[in-house]
Amino acid sequence: GCQSLINDIDRINALNVFPVPDGDTGTNMKMTIDGGVKAISGLDIASIGEMSKKLSRAMTMSARGNSGVILSQFFKGICRKRIILPY
């Protein structure tokens, strides 16, 4: 997911985001998710629940801009509900 966001960052930055088109929506989202990925990289976590909790917390702490906060809260919701999607 992080790599997909990076691949489309220019397109995401071009979004007109309320209240002003600030041109950094994708950048803020990338910085937010990067904080989460860095926090869980290299950790030996056996539980998806524990991993999602650490990811969510790190994304909340590294959130940038409104779009980053919204993205971090999305992950917080997944963590709190422990939604596991079948693939």
pLDDT in tens, 19-60: 677 788 899 999 999 999 999 998 898 888 888 889 999 999
Token pair, residue 74, equals 């999305």
Query: In this structure, are residues 27 and 13 in contact, taking their beta carbons and an 8 Å threshold?
Result: yes
> Is pTM, for the whole model, over 0.75?
yes
What single-letter amino acid sits at 73? Q
Q: What gap in Å lies between CA 38 and CA 15, rounded to an integer?
A: 26
Q: What gap in Å lies between CA 58 and CA 60, rounded to an integer?
A: 5
Q: What pLDDT, on a 0 to 100 scale, did the predictor assign at position 23?
A: 81
Closest CA to 32 of 73, 80, 77: 73
